[in-house]
Amino acid sequence: MAQILGGLTTSHVPMIGRTIAANKQQEVSFKPFFDAFEPAHRWLEDNKPDIAIVIYNDHGLNFFLDNMPTFAIGAAHEYRNADEGWGEPEPRSFAGNADFSWHLIKSLVADEFDVSSCQEMKFDHAGITALDLIWPGHGPVPVATIPVVVNAVQPPLPTPLRCYKLGQAIGRAIRSYPEDLKVLVIGSGGLSHELGQMGKINQSFDALCMDKIVNDPEALTRYTNAEIVELAGSQGLELMTWVVMRGAVSGPVEVRASNYHAPISHTGGAMMLMTPREEAAVQAASLA
């Protein structure tokens, strides 16, 4: 059966991607953010996941205000980048695993989540930046990628509780997959920021989110979307991607790497790598 190795969260503000493309990670003021991924790189080298489920919000590359699914999952053999309004990028491709995607989609529908299935999907910077941070070098990513898009743009928006339950359903789907695959679950987004105000960074709320996502994730599900916007800005709703991840990586976890740096551009930037505690992982496997 497939197993969940752990969960990783990261901010994906375009400044991060541009810094990686220019190979200036050691020259910018937010160098500590990049340095914090070094323990994650060592952990990945030791554990070698087969699949990365990347949970993020689409920035108009696939969906716009007139066509915005609540949840969408890629079911392609391959995903490619595309122009997001900054000019045509260097072409890149990311391998998928369509069999695993369809298992995930069917499991979620059976679990009463009516997700949109996308046999063609462009991969935007929110997903690509996360993968470039985790597997640096701008070469082929050594895992199959499963994109999971969460609407964080157009009301009506899913609530934190709904996103947490989606993550729990994703966790059940992973653990029911019959092949012995190792899965990393990635939440890409946040933390506090608002484009209209070129900031609205709330460091105290960001710190609370980083604590609760580890020690009491259900506390985050008790916030309304309006409360999150008030505390963390309209783009702070990208926190939902972290909540989905934590629903999938259930039970007690150990933090392997963590960093918070503000500002990164106009964002409270953060990353965390967490893995299930051994006893929790054994219990989850027994319940699958």
Dist. CA 42–CA 115, nearest whole Å = 34
Tokens matching residue 259: 């960093």
Residue 51: both structure tokens together: 């699949």
Quote the tokens at residue 116: 């949109």
Which residues are known catalytic residues?
125, 193
CB 209 within 8 A of CB 201: no
Q: Tell me the CA distances in angstroms from 130 to 34, 99, 125, 188, one per residue in order.
A: 11, 23, 8, 6
118, 105 contact by CB (below 8 A): no
Token pair belonging to 15: 């400044």
Closest CA to 185 of 62, 101, 274: 274
Question: 193 to each of 11, 69, 76, how far by Cα in Å?
Answer: 11, 23, 32
